[in-house]
Structure 1
Amino acid sequence: MILLLLVLGIKSCRDSARRDAFKNYVRDVAAIVQGSDSESKNLFAVLQRPGGQGQVQLQNAINGYESDATQLVDRAKGTSHPDEVSTAQRYFVEVLELRRDGIAHIAQQLRTALSGQGGQDAVGRVATQMQLFLASDVLYSQRFLPNLDRPLKKEGLLGQVAVPRTRFLPDLQWVRPITVARSLKGLGAATGPSGPIAPGLHGTALVGVTARPGGQQLSQSGATSITITAKLAFDVNVQNGGTNAERDVVVQLSIVGAGRPIVREQTIPSIAAG
């Protein structure tokens, strides 16, 4: 009887320690997510109101966010976690790496975007990097959370711990170069090759995506089964819904799944109005 009680006591202690490890991990993740969400808030506040500071101050602010994002990646990599959430942990680090890389690329392009030489191209590249933020949000919700929720549910902790949600990209409009250009207009970035943006309606829209060589149409409302081959490619149909011709329209493809997301981009030289 004494031996049985001793064994039960040891098992109870181990179970308690394991549950505490899960709780501590979720708590650490929540703290890092809070820091990342704060970065998003500060970054887009600066991008939305760049006129409140000079170009040097704006550049320094973005550089500071890049440094902070790098520190968050390091914190995530050093987070202690139970073996059961190793897959979730890997995705969590990738989420933060995507956000760090997006901020870093924006910082690199910002100086050119704010200049009169090549400013339009740089604005397009800044908008392209917003796709990294979008990919990080998808990776978090579709890969990290499910791989964390399953072991938490198995331990009976899913309803007992507050698993954080996060969204770094506040609005999908930020992936459009015209949105970035208008945001930075106060500092002289919203320029075309020979002057300011033409008046009138601007805007492009994604009409459809077709996988080749199979010819499958990708759906926005559900999954599409595609056979992976060495010749896999995608045809992207983009429509100009504005009253002005659009030039150097950047199209980026992000494939999120097992491992690091695959990101490819190409530029459409011009799209006629309408």
Structure 2
Amino acid sequence: MTTLTHVGGPTVLMELDGWRILTDPTFDPAGRRYGFGWGTSSVKQSGPALAAGDVGPVDVILLSHDHHADNLDDLGRALLPGATTVVTTRPGARRLALPNARGLAAGETTRLTAPGKPSLTVTATPCRHGPPLSRPVAGAVVGFALAVGDRPGVAVWMTGDTVLHRPLRRVARTLDVDVVLLHLGSVRFPQTGPLRYSMDGRDAVDLLALSRPRVAVPVHYDGWSHFAEPPQHLRSTLAAHPGSRAVVRWLEPGIPTGV
């Protein structure tokens, strides 16, 4: 069993076969506006369910990208040196310049070991954080597929911030996934009108039909002003499709939950 504690936004504390894994650490309080480049910005509307000091020791931080504050804020950044390993994008690892940081491009893999624990294999999965041709603006982003020891399949897949595009569909068809963390919210900015920078509920339905996980956990869909899909609309969309409704688990922030 995997135990997940949703801290807020994309931040999840994961306990997986002895490994303590933290995803996209964000621990700043609510109320601040953060710039996202090219004139875009967003206000953090909800604070974390756990304080950074309450997380405890962390073996691995999975950082989908380091350059947007809704995935790595100031208090989250302060946790990076204390983790045994930080896995992120190649450009992110160069910017962080930390001795514990490992950079991966989509399709690349790193294997982590620790005494008394099964090995953990981390494979970066493709993300496109916006419409076609947006990568030079949005920057490099990856998701992560985790495999434990010699067990077949993927124990946990964190999609990362992405729209539903062809490489993501292709990966979803090939991964044998137990638990998937879905980054949703349908991010939009006034400056770019109807263009979306992350998946919405309909995309989630399609992705779950392709990947067929045992459990799907929506994260990163509320708490910021740049999310365009209201949470209740997201819930209704997922509940309206039997295949999605059967696998989706909504986590209570701050409460450890076995999945």
**Is the shorter-chain TM-score for this pair beyond 0.5, marking a shared fold?**
no
TM-score normalised to the size of structure 2? 0.25
Report the structure, 1 or 2, having the larger strand content: 2
TM-score (norm 1): 0.24
**Larger Rg, first or second structure (1 or 2):** 1
